[in-house]
Amino acid sequence: MEPLSRPEPSEALARRAVAWIGWFGVGRLVAASVATVIVCGGAFWLVRSPPPPTEASLPVATTSTAPPGASSVPPSPPSAAVLVHVAGSVVAPGVYELLPGARVRDAVVAAGGPTEGADQDALNLAAPVVDGTRIYVPAVGEDLPDLLDLGAGPMSVPPGPIDVNRATASELEELPGVGPATASAIVTERERNGPFASVDELERVPGIGPAKLDALRGLVTT
């Protein structure tokens, strides 16, 4: 007898597949396939990377150094301090260095503040301080030349020291803080009691105290 021939493996598999499909049913197979696709698609959607936010697509501003020759505005140099001479009825007359933009009030405070008899109403305390100027704080009732604009800028002072032993009353009135009454008193004092041996002897004159004498130093001689 001739041996029976065995079907090829591929044919056996095909027969089994046909038999299984017949047993399972074509409708079930289609439904299972669709369900599998849906499950796989949902799983992919859950595990996929989220899209980048909208902000990520916006351009980013960066700072860069201007190339040589490019137009640029150089920074403003810092303002220099101002020097003023504060004299008259203040606690500590002298030369003071103030910050840029300082006012006359700041200069008076730097000099220790006004004395008890100071006439601050004679000053414009809100006026800006000008470098190299002299601020004179008068005493209450003190005669002042009309040319002086106290605290408003450079003061009118004589071009050089005045000799108090030879100057006339009119010439003495050119001194800051010396009005007609004080000038006349200086002339009267030197005529009665002799010339002044030094500037300090001006305290002999009624109405000239330490504050006013300090204001006159450098402006008078003997």
Nearest CA among 149, 134, 150 for reference residue 216: 134
In a 10 Å sphere around its CB, with 0-12 CB exposed, 13-18 middle and 19+ buried, how is residue 16 labelled? exposed
pLDDT, tens digit (0-9, with 9 covering 90-100), for 176-185: 778 888 888 9
In a 10 Å sphere around its CB, with 0-12 CB exposed, 13-18 middle and 19+ buried, how is residue 222 labelled? middle
Q: Per DSSP, which regions of 103-174 are E strands?
A: 134-137, 162-163
pLDDT, tens digit (0-9, with 9 covering 90-100), for 99-141: 988 999 999 999 999 998 888 878 888 888 888 888 888 888 7
| Whole-number Cα distances in Å, 118 to 202, 209, 217, 222 | 20, 12, 19, 28
- Give this prediction's pTM: 0.37
DSSP state of 195: -
